[in-house]
Amino acid sequence: MNPAELERIYETLAHKLDEVGQGDSELYLAKLVLLLAHSVGDVDVVEKHIADAMHGLKITE
Partner 1 sequence: MRPAGRSETESLYFKYPHFDAPAIVDRNAEHTAQRVAIVGAGPIGMTAALALAKEGIASVLLDNKATFNDGSRAICIARPSFYILEQLGAIGPFLDKALGWTTGRTFYRGQQILEFEMPDSESEKFRPMYNLQQQYIEQYLWNAVSANDLIDCRWQSEVTGVKDIGDTTELTVRDPHGEYTYDACWVLACDGAHSPMRKLRGHRLRGENFEGRYVIADIQMEHDYPTIRRAYFDPICRPGGTALIHKQPDNIWRIDYQLGDDESTDDALTEDSVRRSVSLLLQEIAYQGNWELEWWSVYTANTLALDDYRDNRIFFVGDSAHIVPIFGVRGLNNGLADAANIGWKLGWVLNGKAGEELLDSYTPERRGATLDVFANASKSARFMTPNTYGWKLMRDAALSLALTHPFAGELANPRQMTAFTYGQSPAVIIDDMPLFDGPAVGALLPDHKLPDGYVSDQLGEGFTVLCFSETLYTALTSVIGRTAKGLCALNLSQYPAVFTAYSADENTAYLIRPDMHIAARWQHATPQKVIDGFQRVTFNLEEAL
Q: Is the distance from CB of 8 to CB of 1 less than 8 angstroms?
A: no
Distance in Å, CB of 4 to partner 1, minimum: 29
Residues 2, 61: Cα–Cα separation, whole Å:
30
Question: In degrees, to the nearest 5, what angle opens at C-alpha 20 toward C-alphas 51 and 38?
Answer: 40
Distance in Å, CB of 28 to partner 1, minimum: 8
Q: Which of residues 1-60 bind partner 1 (CB under 8 A)?
A: 26-27, 30-31, 33-35, 38
Distance in Å, CB of 30 to partner 1, minimum: 4
**Interaction site with partner 1 (CB under 8 A):** 26-27, 30-31, 33-35, 38
